[in-house]
Amino acid sequence: MKLLVIILSAVTVFLLPPIVGWAGTQEEAKVVEQPPVKTTEPWQITVDGPGWLAGASGYTGFHGVNPYVNVGVKQIIDHVNAIAALGGEVRRGRFGVLGDILYLGGQG
């Protein structure tokens, strides 16, 4: 039994260093940089129908006549025959197109 332990110890002492030498030297790992992924942004389409409430008040005049005018929202709505408002936007990334339309038909 002692002989077996001595033989295994001798094998370890004499054979282990050459095996470690066969492993070679450590090489530096090469890093391969991947190009960044380009994501495409989707189209964004927005349609809206804005509301509008406005009145007018203040002094107005021509040739020295400067009356005070005060027209409220209710007076304007009572005299409107037709009103339509529509807005929209189309966008992709940082570029876009924006448009609005307002139609107001009134009577005196």
Is residue 106 within a helix (H) or strand (E), and if so which, with residue range?
A: strand 95-106
Sign of CA dihedral 17, 19, 22, 26: negative
Residues contacting 104, CB < 8 A, separation 6+ = 80, 82, 83
Neighbours of 74 (CB within 10 A): 10
0.85 exceeded by pTM: no
Joined tokens for residue 81: 């025959």
* pLDDT (0 to 100) of residue 64: 85
Secondary structure class of 103 (helix, strand, coil): strand
Write the pLDDT tens digit of every residue in 8-51. Answer: 666 665 665 655 555 566 677 788 888 887 777 799 999 998 77
